[in-house]
Structure 1
Amino acid sequence: MREVEPLRLAELTTLRTGGAPDRMFDATTTEGLVEALRETWERGDPWLVLGGGSNLFVGDEPFDGTVIRVRTTGIEELPSPHAGRIRLRVQAGHGWDDLVAYAVEHGYAGLEAMSGIPGTVGASPVQNIGAYGQEIQETLVEVELIDESTGEISTVPAAELGLGFRTSVLKHHHGSEPQRRAVILSVTVDLLVAGERVVRGEQLRRALGLTDDTPVPLTWVRERILATRGSKGMLLDEHDPDTHGVGSFFQNAIVTAAQARTLPPECPRWPVAPDLDAVTVIPLASYDGYVPPTRAEAPDVKVSAAWLIEQAGIRKGFKLPRSRASVSTKHALALTNRGGATAAEVAELARFIQSRVHAEFGLVLQPEPVLLGVDL
């Protein structure tokens, strides 16, 4: 590890807000990262691990603590126990899209729909990142992490991470602490060895304009996804203010089937797959030979937050008077810093959008980025 002169977090986050911390370390090796974390935890400092800074909304005040920048890189190919598949163990500081590009180039399928997502590999399970119906949990095998409470390193299977829609036990949600305070050191994914694939997911098929089951090359899927994200201002570009944000600022809302029926029929929606492997446990002492039938419950529904925002009267490019924060001119779900906006200005815009959507549809949109020193 190397202690460096602290930089303002506005210089290190894509939303471009945040003051400087008390201390800052750069960790380019796993050993250096572990050393920096253990030293920080022993001092009892408030701490923040920073990757690409693309999913972080930081308040205006200086951070009274230590920031550790994760800059470890590297991809290791490992055998998979499943025929026709391969495993990749990737260091936490490796660029996410660099990993996707590597997988596509080598004909490894399972990540291509998540092309262009900014940030680092280590952050991907924390957020359970996803795009166009594909999520990291579909290919994630395990993570290597270090726990704050013990300082010990362990390998944790994906099943123990509590992965859900844009969440995990490691995520610091607004208003609550993570269930497990730990830092990911490496990530292992299991991918299909195939230069082309049949696209199944409804969202991805719609995004790609596919109407049949003809296999398509992974390179073609990646190119189309990158073009789509670029048209929405979702690819980082120093010269494009529409990309100076955190991507989607609000999560698509997950509602019950009954709630979904109260929304206008034109509101885009996708069923959330039910748990087909649910287990019914009957105590042996009370078992009388009768197994109750499984109740068929309608699955929850994911609805488009961007559609809700626009139908609540918030158009692309909208901003409050005298504010330097704005909704992207390309995508209603992205809040952007048009140059010099404070965290307070971004938060004011976010709260206004939440209030409008709630007034129109009775839903409270939840922020997707991690919030540090800022409130909504």
Structure 2
Amino acid sequence: MAKLIQTEEETLLSEAAHVFLSKSAPVSRLREMRDSGEHSDPALWQEMAAAGWAGVLVPEAAEGSDMGHAAAHVLAREMGRNLTVSPFLSTAVMAATLLRQFSDDSATSKLKQIAVGGLTYALALDETAKFSPDQVELTAESRGNGYVLNGKKRFVVDGCDADRILVLAKSDAGLCLFDLANKAEGLTQNALKMIDSRDAADLIFDDVEVSGEALLGDPGAGFDVLKPALEAGQAALAAETTGLAEAAFSLTTDYLKERKQFGITIGSFQALQHRAAHLWCEIELTHSAVLNAGRILDETPDQATLAVSVAKARATDTAQKSVQEGVQMHGGIGMTDEFDMGFYMKRARVAAEWLGDYGYHAGLVAQLRGF
């Protein structure tokens, strides 16, 4: 059974990440980015790369720090606390997990570039309003030694600024996964205006020609190649969402200790104490679920599906409860833009949909448990 408490090394990593992000990427930085129209912070990403974060899942042979999924979750959780904007999940977690399955020179070169912050990725999966990665209509028609891609991908996180795109398409052989430049001829990025002020886009593929070398794995094996990266991303997103829930809870309890009604602090009201205690328990259970997913991904990744979906479902539900309680317990100020709670609520809403919502993962958990 996985050890559901942080190790000493993970605690030290968490403390170092907290100090770094509090200084370099506080919530006020997100507010500045939103107000100025920015949706990425390249300078911050270079600082993260210098600290070894971009290479957290890159093998040491490819000059990465290779700290493992549990460590990646520690970092993601701290990013959630500060609502940090970075390509960490798309690039350092999902793309690195996918590329490390291959030992050829091209994959090794890309992993090295990821580790030093010189290459970023986005995953182009969704085609409908809901996450359903195996329902693919974007076509990959074999032509000569390569393929021609036609179709549309929706809600591609980091889709505007990423250097490269990982695209799932259907061919005569089945689903295929391609790695191509984001500026390929015939590829159009339609930027989305996201409530969480992040980079996301719909991608249009109009006769996009790619070489045979762009195909990752065998024809028809695209989803098998993608699955480990997808589960790594879902678990890391659960970790980030848990950090978000913790930060929102902290904002709320601090307010309960300060706000007075009838001459006494509202934190002394028993009804609010009960609600806060219940939320604390939910967050602790969710943290344990995320720790479990990280341990299994590190030790037996081929058996991680259930643990990952439990973590993602719980984190989604817990974050929604945390931000909703936060707004309600703050009263009128919780609805104002001047207060940070709204930023946490917006990010929680987007994170709930990305890589599968509560219904998707709860349904998968039920299926895997035989219901």
State the TM-score, normalizing by the size of structure 1.
0.24
Greater strand content: 1
- TM-score by length of structure 2 reads 0.24
Q: Greater helix share, 1 or 2?
A: 2
